[in-house]
């Protein structure tokens, strides 16, 4: 009987193709929107997780707290310096490496060609801590740091912008008002949200301090590598205690810095992206509700159109539950077909949406999202198909046979 009901449902849908498509349009739009948003958000989440895995579970970053809404920070001269990082490295045994990170937007020039890279001032342990390595050439030597040498590392995109050729090592380029000699090219990192992370210049931190002055070095980022993943939490507690003492913070004052672990960074991004998904899903739920109402209306029309058929089936022995199953299966099948089409359109929407944003990660549709789309569309069919199916099952066979 189940197979027969399924066959009849397919035959009824095929007999009214245009009506079936229009009926499922709300379901298709709703599921497509959900899958499209989920694929984009999950692609971004998947990419961020991969980047965090790249720096390793021992990665810790500290940056100044600049939240103007925080009363403990507002109006205070917030500082985070190289000396803070050096003190942490020397006094906390759980920390084995550290690098300061100084950011500065600059203009680079070679001949008549120019570019606008990010300039980074970094320490000797930069490669090990951040897991960003030299692809060709060499990293800075201890003498480069000691002598504030005018040497730099460049990203591959900057090499292309300035037309430095296949072997830019030894070439002098102007960054800001200073001439630097290229000693290495960094491995590629790619784009992210329109920002090309290979369009950069890296110089020794001591050189950055000499060029940009001490005041510019008072709000830098400090990146650390812990001895092992098991030492990360203890290292964070000890770093907090040490930095509070160095910054002269009393017991009731909040921190003027923020320490983030790899897992915390992942949870923060997942929470933000999950919130976006939930908000969009709630809005899209309205489309699914409209689609469900459309299915119910069409099924009610179908019951009216097939009243004599129902009477004949009951007259030859069909039970109430057989009629109920027939129309309920048809409603669920109609909704499920809309869900399948919606999943396909949603994936296409996610792929095109991700490609439309420069540097955005590829769309990623997790298996749970596919099952969610199918399950939700089927649930809509069941919920909105029960009433028409119950109405069909409750028809009096004699009156149904008389129906014109």
What pLDDT is recorded for position 68? 55
Share of the chain above pLDDT 70, in %: 74
Whether the full predicted model's pTM is greater than 0.75, yes or no, is no
Encode pLDDT of 251-276 as tens digits. Answer: 778 888 888 887 666 666 667 767 76
Confidence of residue 74 (pLDDT cuts 50, 70, 90): low
Give residue for tokens 């110089």: 203
The residue-averaged pLDDT of 313-337 equals 73
Q: pLDDT at residue 188 above 80?
A: yes
**Whole-angstrom distance, CA of residue 326 vs CA of residue 170:** 79
Cβ 246 vs Cβ 82: under 8 Å: no
Q: Supply the DSSP symbol for 248.
A: T
By the 8 A CB rule, do 221 and 101 touch?
yes
Q: Which has more pLDDT, 192 or 374? A: 374
Dihedral angle of Cα 162, 217, 266, 357, to the nearest 10 degrees: -30
Q: DSSP states of 150-205 as a string?
A: -EEEE-HHHHHHTT--S--TT-EEEETTEEEEEEEEEPP--EETTEETTSEEEEEH
125-177: pLDDT as tens digits: 999 998 889 999 999 999 999 999 999 999 999 999 999 988 899 999 999 99
The dihedral over CA atoms of 44, 47, 49, 52, expressed in degrees to the nearest 10, equals -120
User: For the purposes of burial, counting CB atoms within 10 Å of the CB of 342, is it exposed (0-12), middle (13-18) or buried (19 or more)?
Assistant: buried
């Amino acid at each position: 009987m189940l197979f027969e009901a399924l066959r009849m449902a397919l035959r009824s849908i095929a007999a009214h193709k245009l009506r079936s498509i229009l009926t499922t349009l709300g379901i298709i739009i709703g599921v497509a929107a959900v899958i499209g948003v989920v694929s984009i958000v999950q692609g971004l989440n998947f990419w961020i997780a991969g980047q965090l895995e790249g720096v390793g579970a021992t990665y810790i970053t500290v940056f100044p707290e600049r939240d103007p809404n925080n009363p403990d920070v507002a109006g205070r001269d917030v500082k985070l310096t190289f000396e803070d990082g050096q003190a942490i490295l020397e006094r906390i045994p759980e920390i084995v490496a550290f690098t300061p990170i100084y950011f500065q937007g600059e203009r680079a020039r070679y001949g008549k060609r120019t570019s606008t890279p990010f300039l980074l001032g970094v320490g000797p342990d930069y490669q090990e801590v951040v897991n960003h390595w030299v692809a060709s050439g060499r990293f800075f030597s201890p003498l480069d740091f000691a002598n504030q040498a005018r040497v730099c590392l460049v990203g591959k995109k900057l090499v292309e912008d300035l037309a430095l050729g296949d072997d830019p090592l030894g070439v002098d380029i102007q960054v800001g008002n200073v001439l630097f000699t290229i000693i290495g090219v960094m491995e590629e990192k790619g784009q992210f949200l329109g920002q090309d992370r290979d369009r950069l210049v890296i110089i020794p931190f001591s050189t950055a301090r000499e060029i940009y002055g001490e005041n510019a070095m008072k709000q830098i980022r400090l990146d650390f590598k812990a001895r092992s993943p098991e030492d990360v939490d203890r290292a964070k507690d000890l770093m907090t205690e040490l930095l509070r003492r160095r910054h002269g913070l009393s017991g009731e004052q909040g921190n003027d810095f923020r320490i983030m672990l790899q897992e915390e960074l992942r949870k923060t991004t997942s929470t933000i992206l999950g919130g976006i998904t939930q908000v969009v899903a709630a809005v899209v739920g309205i489309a699914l509700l409209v689609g469900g109402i459309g299915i119910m209306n069409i099924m009610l029309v179908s019951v009216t159109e097939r009243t004599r058929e129902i009477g004949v089936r009951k007259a030859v022995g069909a039970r109430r539950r057989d009629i109920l199953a027939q129309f309920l299966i048809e409603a669920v099948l109609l909704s499920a077909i809309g869900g399948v089409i919606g999943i396909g359109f949603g994936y296409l929407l996610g792929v095109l949406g991700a490609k439309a944003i420069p540097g955005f990660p590829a769309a990623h549709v997790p298996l749970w999202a596919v099952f969610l789309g199918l399950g939700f569309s089927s649930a809509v069919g069941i919920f909105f198909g029960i009433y028409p199916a119950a109405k069909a099952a409750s028809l009096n066979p004699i009156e149904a046979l008389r129906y014109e």
